[in-house]
Structure formats: C-alpha cells, structure tokens
Amino acid sequence: MIDMKKAFSIIILAGIAIFSSLNAQAVKVEYVEAELISEFTAIKPGNKASMALRLKMDPEWHTYWRNPGDAGLPTTLTWDLPPGFTASEFYWPYPERVVTPPLIAYGYSHEVFLLFDLQTPADLETGTDVTLNATADWLVCKNICLPGSAELKITLPVTSEIPAINNKWATAFTETRANLPIKNSDWTIEAAIDDTILTIQASPPAGFAADLQELEFCPFDEGIIENSVLPVLTKHGNAFRLTFRVSKYAEAPITKIAGVLTSPVGWRGPDSEKALEIDIPISKNLSPAGGSGSTTGLFYALIFSFIGGMILNLMPCVLPVLSIKVLSFVNQAGEKDSQPWKHGLFFTFGVLITFWLLAGTLIALRAGGEQLGWGFQLQSPMFIVILSAIIFLFGLSLFGVFEIGTSLMSVGGKMDRGSGLGGSFWSGVAATVVATPCTAPFMGSALGYALTQPTWVAMLVFTFLGLGMSAPYLVLASSPKLLTFVPKPGRWMESFKQFMGFLMMATVVWLVWVLGNQTGVDGIAVLLFALLFVSIGSWIYGRWATPVATAKTRNIATIMAAIFMISGVYFGVANTQDLTPAATSSHTTGSIEWQPYSEELLAKLHENNQPIFIDFTASWCLSCKVNERVAFSDKAGKKFKELGIATVKADWTNRDPVISKALEKFGRNSVPLYVLYDGKNATPHILPEIITESIILEAIQKVGN
C-alpha cells in the first residue's frame, strides 16, 4: 500500500513538473534566448537547489564572462525572491578568448549555463508551488554590441521527497560542471612580477607526464594584464611558465593574482578538468624550475651542454684559435717524451677557468638586476677594442713581425716544458673568449636552463660546456697513437703559421665590423687608429728587442713598444665609450624586409592575428650571420610575403633590456633564437639554433597550412 502511495506521488510530481516547466518559458530578446532552469523537478524545504541561467546566442554573437576583458559587461541576475529564499553568485564556466582586433575579451558563444545555488527556507510548505522571479541583464556583441534584459520566472513544486532529476537539462548541468574551474590540485602555482612582466609558473605533481602545449590565463579582475598582448608559454625544467605584460592601468602594487588557468590537456591528466582556479600572492622570485623532474632537467642540461661544447669547436668563431692548437700538436709530435697529455690538461684548465669566470660574472650581474646573456661582454665596445688588439697581436706574431715567445703561442722551436704548458693554458683561455659569440646546437636550451637555476647548478652546466669544448683536444693529447697522424715539424710550419695569421686578421676585420654596428663609422676609425698604434709598438719590439740587441736597446725598445700598445688600446677604449650606438632601423636581408623588434609592434601584430617570425640576432654572433647567409634566401623571402608572415629582427648587438627580457620569456639568454607564431594561438614554435633554407621553408609552410 505504501509503495502504491509512493508511486502515485511520483506520478503526481512528474505531472506537476511538466506543468511547471510550461511556466518557465524562455524569453527571446535580440539575438539571445534567456531562461531560468532547474536541475531537479521540484524543491525541498531547507535544501539547496541547483539551478542555472541559460543563455543561447545567435550564431557569431557572444556574451561575457565575469571579467569581460578589454570591452563588455558581465551577465547579472537580479532576484525578486519569496521570503526566506537566497541565491548564490554564479559559478562561471571557464570562458573563451574572443578576439575582435584590437580588443581581446572573455566570453561565451553558442550557449552557456551559468549555475547558481538556491537555498530554500526550512518552513516551506510542501504540496505548494513556488514562483521565482529574476531580471537577467547582459551585453551581446558581434560587430556591434547591444544591451539585453529579460524578466524571467520559474515555478517549481515543493516536496518532502528527494526531488527527481530533470532529464531535459541533466546533460547540460553535467557538462557545465566539467567546465567549472577546480580549486584544489597537486600542482604548485607561483607568480612573480618583474617590472612590466607577470610570470605564472605551474609545476606539475610527480607522475604527471603530459605536456601542456597550450596554456591560457583569464584573470578575475580587470586591469591586471594587457589582454591584447598574447602570453608566451615556455618550459623550464618540468615547470611551465606563462608570461604576460602587466596592464598600464594596473593599480600598483599588485600583491596577488587570481583567475583561471586553462589547458586542453587537463590538470589531472587527459580528459580531466580543463580549468584550474588560482588565488596566489605575488612572490619576489619564482622557485627554481624542476619540481619532481628537476633531476631529469639537470641531466639533459648537462648532456646538451657537453654536446654543445664539442660542436662549438666547429663554429666559425673558434676557427682562428684552432691555429694555436694545430701548431701546438705539430710541435709536440716532433718531441720525445713531450707528455702531450699534460698539455691537454692545461688546455682544459684554461677553458674551464675562463668559463667559470664568464659564468660567475654573468650570474653576479644578473643577480644585480642586469639583463644580460651569453656573449654579454661582446656588447661592450671596450671589450671589442681589447679583444681586437689581442688577436691583432697574435696575427702579427704569426706573420713574424715580432715573437711573443713560446710561452703564449706554443709555436716555434724547441719548448721547455714549463712554458709549453703555459702556452696550452692560454690557448684554452683564448679559445673560450673567442668562442663566446657562437652558440652551437643544444647550447641555447642548456644555457637558458642554467640561468634559471641555483648558482651551483648553473656553474655545473657551464663546467660541462667547457669539458665538451676541450674534450676533442684532451682525447687527442692523451692518445700518443693519434699524434702519429700529425705531420712532422719542418720548414712547412713557417708557411702554415703565416697562413693562420690571415685567419687572425680575418677575425680582426669581423670585430671591426661588429664595432661599426655598435658605434657607427666613427667607432671604426677609432679602432683602426688604435690598431695602428699597436702595430707600431709591435714593429718596434720586433725590430729592436731581439736577443742579439744590447740589454739597453732591448729595454728601451720594450718600454717604447709598451707605450705605443697601451696608448693605442687606451685611445680605442676611451673614444668608443662616448659614441652613440648606431640606430636600428628597418632593413632587408636578401628579399626579406625586417621590422625592428619592439613590444608595441609585437602587440599590434598579435592583435591583428598576423603570423610572426622573430630573428633574435647580433652583429657579434657569427652563428647568426652564417645562418642568415644560408637560410634567409630569396625563396624564403618570397614565402614569407606569400603567407603574410611579419618578419621582425631583434638586434642584440648592443645591450637592450627589452630584448634581454624577450629572450628570457622563451627560456633563453643567448642568440641566435628563431621564434615563429602562427597567428592563431599564443604558443610559439622555437626553431633550431642552426637553420637552413629547408628548415625555414618547412616551418613557415606549416603556418600556411
């Protein structure tokens, strides 16, 4: 009998629900259909009822999220409830990014369900109907925007039983809940602001193997970030970093950041929740990237740095110094009991100590706020002048203008062991200093990782880079059998030595050109005069400071030579510091027209959804210049134009904090770097450090497809 009563009650309630649904009619106002809906067919006294505001937009029209972005208004619901009823705020599903150049908004297209809870009073009389009234307001936009409003109501029966699911809307409620941001996860989320750049770092939990190819952030509050500037997603170790430009309207200081991080991968793995709600304080610094994968990240960084160091020996900037190594091998091959492995060790010491000095200086300057990267010393005209003078002296010595002595060059007749080892050490120093303009494959990512880590990790990465660079020399010096393949010393060595001098002079010509790009034609004239003084000093030393001259003559010649050389270098250093750097302007490489890099230009191109190719380069970067000659052909230029890809050149010849920060966004601190945006999303495509025409064409063709 009781079961019959329950069955009868259910039938009655179902009928009431059907009747009630007729009293919850959708209201159609220009381009939007609005309706109040309930997840259940009835309400129960003293319970929470799950309900929603349903908005269905006409094709190509959209409404707005809680933070509309650059334009728009959030949807609101104003209630006229019976006594004792209360309604919660909306539970907002994560929004879409609505692009209407030059504006970026956050909103919804097609159809959206804005969920909320309705708390019913405990003394609600069962067996009655309750009508709920509300006014919904929204802004709907396409090419134009129209404010919309609708008076909505829904009538629901009151029951003492557990309400049945409203099958009509069951799927809608389930799918909407899947799109609500989760508030707790095993991810570690941090945020930091550096000047005008906001960085959010997401470190995954142990065992999370998926790669976040896309990651977006929608802030809860307006005026926090420049919505129109696409964020940049990079990976540091196993952590993901999303960088934004802080809005010029932001109220300083920003002490916390709140919003929704979205990823199509899912925060608990594939097919899990796509949105994660965050509300975190702004930190001064981000934790070193790594988390559970830090050991793996360090392992790969060490491997990449070692391989990169080995390949560095083949880079054009190291080629002139190879002459010193080759002549050293030749001399050692002609000696008995020369113990060449000692020379290999001292060469390695020279390489490592120089790498440590460069790395330590770079890390210290960056800690002090300087925006610097690999090759930073070549951004200084003073360093260019000094390096030019040293290499010029090496070249003159190889030509026979004067003899520095075997202690430095490791060339010429029979060496005593002490001076020979010193020569190997200084060969390592010279090779490292001249290698800094080059970035070999694998080096860029390894160095980018190193400078985001604690000091000991960074120094370890630089150590492996030095070991990789010195490894071929160390192996050859430690294997006497390999030295048997080196030709025996003879008269040919003098001709070979002079030929290597031309390589040194070619390096000087390149350095003069680099300085010209930094300081203009006046800088070139200053350096040439400086080298003239150095050459006069070299000639005096070679002419009168010979072993056959008297001691008095040698001393006077040495002093005069030193005066000329030091005066020349001082003249070059003093007179290039005050020169204004050459202005960067639009220029062409072959048939490619380049626009100079700026954040404003990048923002404008992103607003127009235009594909972008960025060439991070420098005049002192020989790898960059070789790449430009090989890859940026007329065919590539025509393809750029055909596909409408904007070509942007970020010239890092002189120190530029803007370009330094841009490199850091991509997890790099060295050039070359080649970045391609397809114009459709914020995820950049990073090309290899060494590129060819085919690599460029293949990459930009993917944009066209």
Quote the pLDDT of residue 290.
Answer: 46
Q: Name residue 203's beta-bridge partners.
A: 188
Chain segment 413-433, per-residue pLDDT in tens: 333 334 467 777 887 887 787
pLDDT at 414: 35
Radius of gyration, CA atoms only, the chain:
35
The pLDDT of residue 347: 87
Q: Computed from CA positions of residues 625, 631, 637, 642, in that sequence, does the dihedral angle turn out positive or negative?
A: negative
Average per-residue pLDDT in the chain?
Answer: 81
Helix or strand (DSSP H, E) at 78? strand 76-80
Residue 323 has pLDDT above 60, yes or no: no
Q: What pLDDT score does 492 carry? A: 73
Bridge partners of 154, per DSSP, are 132
Q: Is the pLDDT of residue 527 over 80?
A: yes
Domain spanning 587-704: which superfamily? Glutaredoxin (3.40.30.10)
For 188-289, CATH number out of 3.40.50, 2.120.10, 1.10.287, 2.60.40 equals: 2.60.40
CB 204 within 8 A of CB 635: no
Residue 152 pLDDT level (bands cut at 50, 70, 90): very high
Q: How far is CA 207 from CA 180, 189, 268, 293, in A?
A: 24, 17, 10, 9
Q: Say how many residues make up the chain.
A: 705
In the numeric block, the tokens 């003239």 are attached to 532
Residue 18, pLDDT above cutoff 50: no
Using 50, 70 and 90 to split pLDDT, how confident is the model at 1?
very low
H or E element at residue 417? helix 417-435
pLDDT at 603: 80
Q: Greater confidence, 499 or 16?
A: 499
CA distance linking residue 258 with residue 200, whole number of Å: 11
Average pLDDT over residues 585-596: 74
Residue-wise pLDDT tens digits, 470-494: 888 888 777 767 766 666 666 777 7
Q: Which residues contact 55 (CB under 8 A, 6 or more apart)?
A: 32, 33, 34, 63, 75, 108, 111, 112, 114, 136, 138
pLDDT of residue 27: 93
The percent of residues in the chain predicted with pLDDT above 70, rounded, is 81
> With the CA atoms of 654, 655, 658 and 664 taken in that order, what torsion angle do they form, in degrees rounded to the nearest 10?
110
pLDDT of residue 215: 86
pLDDT tens profile 343-384: 888 889 999 998 898 888 877 766 555 556 666 677 788 888
> Is residue 293 predicted with pLDDT exceeding 90?
no
For residue 146, give the 3-state DSSP assignment. strand
Given a cut of 60, is residue 9 above it in pLDDT? no
Q: Is residue 10 helix, strand or coil?
A: helix
Residue 11 has a CB neighbour count (10 Å cut-off) of 10
Task: Tell me where in the chain the CATH 3.40.30.10 domain(s) lie.
Answer: 587-704
Give the CA angle between residues 400, 405, 407 to the nearest 5°.
140
Could you tell me where in the chain the CATH 2.60.40.1250 domains are found? 2-178
pLDDT tens digits for range 94-104: 999 887 767 78
What CATH class does 2-178 carry?
A: mainly beta
Confidence of residue 333 (pLDDT cuts 50, 70, 90): low
Give 176-181 contacts, CB < 8 A, sequence gap 24+: 176/52, 176/93, 176/113, 176/115, 177/115, 178/273, 179/93, 179/94, 179/274, 179/275, 180/91, 180/92, 180/93, 180/94, 180/115, 180/273, 180/275, 181/94, 181/260, 181/273, 181/275, 181/276, 181/277
What's the pLDDT tens digit per position in 376-415? 677 788 888 988 898 898 889 888 898 754 333 333 333 3
- Whether 14 shows a pLDDT value over 70: the answer reads no
Q: Could you say which DSSP state residue 253 is in?
A: P
Where is pLDDT greater, at 78 or 364?
78
Higher pLDDT, 332 or 224: 224
CB 618 within 8 A of CB 663: no
Torsion sign over Cα 36, 40, 46, 52 = negative
Mean pLDDT for 255-259 is 92
Mean pLDDT of the 201-214 span:
80
